[in-house]
A and B are shown apart, each in its own frame.
Chain A
Amino acid sequence: MTSPHPPLLSPGYKSTVLRAPRQAPILLPHTLTELTGPVLGEGPVAAADADLTRDGGGEAQGQRIVVHGQVRDADGRPVPDTLLEVWQANAAGRYRHKWDGHDAPLDPHFAGVGRTMTDAQGHYRFVTVKPGAYPWGNHPNAWRPAHIHFSLFGRAFTQRLVTQMYFPDDPLFAYDPIYHSVPEFARDRLVAGFDLSATVESWALGFRFDIVLTGAAATPMETR
């Protein structure tokens, strides 16, 4: 199966040039270390963590949206009870981070971080605002398309995935080397679909973003 992942050295994205390893990776046999992974449980996640729009005792500015989807493995099976972490810029395209010097306003009611667990069928859902596009220094007049960062553990070390979800029909796709680092056949897998069934009438637009974790996992078993 052809890998959907971008090559580590993708010179259009300049930061890869000094950071991508140059030696070929050595094939790692899948031992119990790789076929298991963290089981984090509900402990670190509160229900409120799935709503990014209510920080600091007020409501975030911007277009309110619902983002939902299903997490599956390469065999199409749902991945239940796995931690999903998201982070993003605010509606003006500004991250709440000391290094983000973009001349756009911070929002006291938007920290830009959320967490949730998938349910028994692998479904997740969170509420946020649509992030703004923002400029970056990769090349003259460079702008990142609007995106939400996603991090997932899956069931095994092999399944760990960090990715970015984009929004449909963004005119900035054509100019973005990070989006273009992905093989062409797989790029549309990073683009959420507008989902009328997930909208909340008179309140929020809905988008669907399904995620497939490709790594192998152990058949559930006792390890001792």
Chain B
Amino acid sequence: MTAPGTPSQTVGPYLSIGLSWAEGPAVVAADTPGAVWLRGEIRDGDGAVVKDALVETWQADPDGRFHTPGFRGLGRCPTGDDGRYAIRTVKPGVVADQAPHLAVSVFARGLLHRVVTRVYFADEAAANAADPVLARVPGERRGTLIAEQSADGYRFDIILQGPDETVFFAL
């Protein structure tokens, strides 16, 4: 039996009422070995920051395993008035033949359904070069999926629209 799918709708401007968790940005505790901050900002087609968005991340643990007891794997952070988000996590391990990566959903006012992207890591150049998903992305746009190293982890900006538009995926 096939069931008729429920349509998506926008989270609207007041998403933080329902979707903010105090512990949301902490995929791991601060004292976890290898803990890093993934930070970035979200911008629209005019280059304006998006201050009513939510970033969610899903990932394997450092050994490339999902659903490890004690490892939630989920990060969630609304953007602030400056359009920025921050998630504290650990770099995942290799999953099958893929380079370390996070799956990312972005929700916002003005997005009638989520957009999906991936975070790869600049210091995994060799693994990235062999990654089968990155291989599907035109070379000149691949850089939008690579988080650069920063003082306390990595930086990953999300550009919803425009010349530097982030690569988004269809599931």
Give A residues with C-beta under 8 Å from B: 1, 3-8, 10, 13, 15-23, 25-34, 36-40, 44, 72-76, 85-87, 95-97, 99-100, 111-113, 149, 151, 157-158, 160-164, 178, 181-183, 186-187, 189-190, 211-215, 223-224
Establish whether residues B72 and A38, one from each chain, have CB atoms under 8 Å apart when the complex forms: yes
Q: B16 contacts which chain A residues (CB < 8 A)?
A: 97
Establish whether residues B18 and A113, one from each chain, have CB atoms under 8 Å apart when the complex forms: yes
Report the bound CA distance from A224 to B137 in whole Å.
29
Partner pick for A212 among B6, B58, B67, B133, CB 8 A cutoff: B6
Report the bound CA distance from A1 to B56 in whole Å.
27
Partner pick for B7 among A30, A113, A190, CB 8 A cutoff: A190
Establish whether residues A6 and B103, one from each chain, have CB atoms under 8 Å apart when the complex forms: no
Q: B141 contacts which chain A residues (CB < 8 A)?
A: 23
B1 proximal to A (CB < 8 A)? yes
B159: nearest residue on chain A (CB-CB)? A21
B101 proximal to A (CB < 8 A)? yes
B31 proximal to A (CB < 8 A)? no
Give B residues with C-beta under 8 Å from A: 1-19, 21, 44-46, 48, 50, 52, 56, 58-60, 65-67, 72-74, 95-96, 98, 101, 103, 105, 107-116, 118, 132-133, 136-137, 141, 160-162, 165-171
19 inter-chain pairs at a CB distance below 8 angstroms, sorted by A residue, are A16-B112, A18-B160, A19-B50, A19-B110, A26-B167, A28-B118, A28-B170, A30-B171, A36-B67, A76-B1, A85-B19, A100-B14, A149-B15, A162-B9, A164-B10, A182-B7, A183-B7, A186-B4, A213-B6
- With A25-B170, A149-B11: A223-B2 Cβ-Cβ less than 8 Å: no
Distance between B142 CB and nearest chain A CB, rounded to angstroms: 11
Q: B56 contacts which chain A residues (CB < 8 A)?
A: 160
Partner pick for B136 among A26, A76, A189, CB 8 A cutoff: A26
Q: A25 contacts which chain B residues (CB < 8 A)?
A: 115-116, 168-170
Chain A facing B: main interface SS? loop
Distance between B144 CB and nearest chain A CB, rounded to angstroms: 10
Q: How many A-B residue pairs have CB under 8 A?
A: 221
Distance between B125 CB and nearest chain A CB, rounded to angstroms: 20
Report the bound CA distance from A161 to B114 in whole Å.
8
- Closest 9 pairs (CB-CB, A-B): A87-B18, A15-B110, A214-B5, A28-B169, A19-B110, A25-B170, A38-B74, A76-B1, A164-B9
Report the bound CA distance from A187 to B8 in whole Å.
10
Partner pick for A18 among B9, B46, B58, B96, CB 8 A cutoff: B46
Q: A32 contacts which chain B residues (CB < 8 A)?
A: 60, 66, 95-96
Q: B111 contacts which chain A residues (CB < 8 A)?
A: 8, 16, 19-20
Report the bound CA distance from A212 to B45 in whole Å.
32
Establish whether residues A31 and B14, one from each chain, have CB atoms under 8 Å apart when the complex forms: no
Report the bound CA distance from A211 to B19 in whole Å.
19
Report the bound CA distance from A75 to B56 in whole Å.
26
